[in-house]
Amino acid sequence: MTSGWRLSLALIPARPSSFESALTLDATRDPTYQSGFWTHDVPGGMHYQGRRWGFSPADIYDTANTFKSYGIEGPAEGPELREELLAAVPVAHKELLAGMHWVVELECTRFDGHDPLKIVCVHAGLSADKDAAAQLEALRLRDWRMPVLHERGQVARIEAFSGRTTVLRNHPALVEGNVVLVSGHHGTCIIDRSDQRAIVDEHGGLGPIQAIIFPEWDVISS
């Protein structure tokens, strides 16, 4: 889960929020949560999803292989672990993670002469119950503080990164505008041309990697 990886290393945009907010990274953790995450202090704070991603004693996201790839045995609970990881990750990798877009929007020329096909790619999807334009704008700004991104009002969950049932379908406004919504995240492969929706993640990161080719809608695997 690349979003959790970025959050655990605090590789998220550092510029001021696009709207007035006193929300801090550490405030994303519900104070009633007492276990299942990394508890140690971090200068500037850490988003709750980052605390869960790589530093949970239960290894919720199966991140041990990521740690191992940088020569570190993890995850673990010690306060020194994050500093070891930060030191081990090359600058080029940090720059790549920090610069990643939260949404990618593309236009694809059709073979049949119809209007160009617009494609929106988001990690998990968009909530069909919220304004599509507002969600897309918040994702373009990469601003985790914006309420439209919070799942069911929970600041700890960015719905476009970690939503499940609420983001399975395409947004009605995108369907109406002939916009295809593509994501991974869900551990399945669903191609629904009537809904203009593609979920390409059959193996959930534990098997061959999938991709989809447009405008043919062909799914290929490694």
pLDDT tens digits for 36-52? 888 888 888 889 998 88
What pLDDT, on a 0 to 100 scale, did the predictor assign at position 78? 77
* 131 and 125 Cβ atoms separated by less than 8 Å: no
- Angstrom distance (rounded) from CA 21 to CA 38: 25
Q: Amino acid identity, residue 45?
A: G
Q: Amino acid identity, residue 188?
A: T
Tell me the pLDDT band of 215, cut-offs 50, 70 and 90: confident
Tell me the pLDDT band of 82, cut-offs 50, 70 and 90: confident
Q: Are strands 150-151 and 154-158 parallel, antiparallel or unpaired?
A: antiparallel
Among residues of the chain, what percentage have pLDDT more than 90?
A: 50
What pLDDT, on a 0 to 100 scale, did the predictor assign at position 20? 56
Give the bridge partners for 105, in sequence order: 120
Q: pLDDT tens-digit profile of 105-119?
A: 998 877 676 666 899
- Angstrom distance (rounded) from CA 43 to CA 51: 13
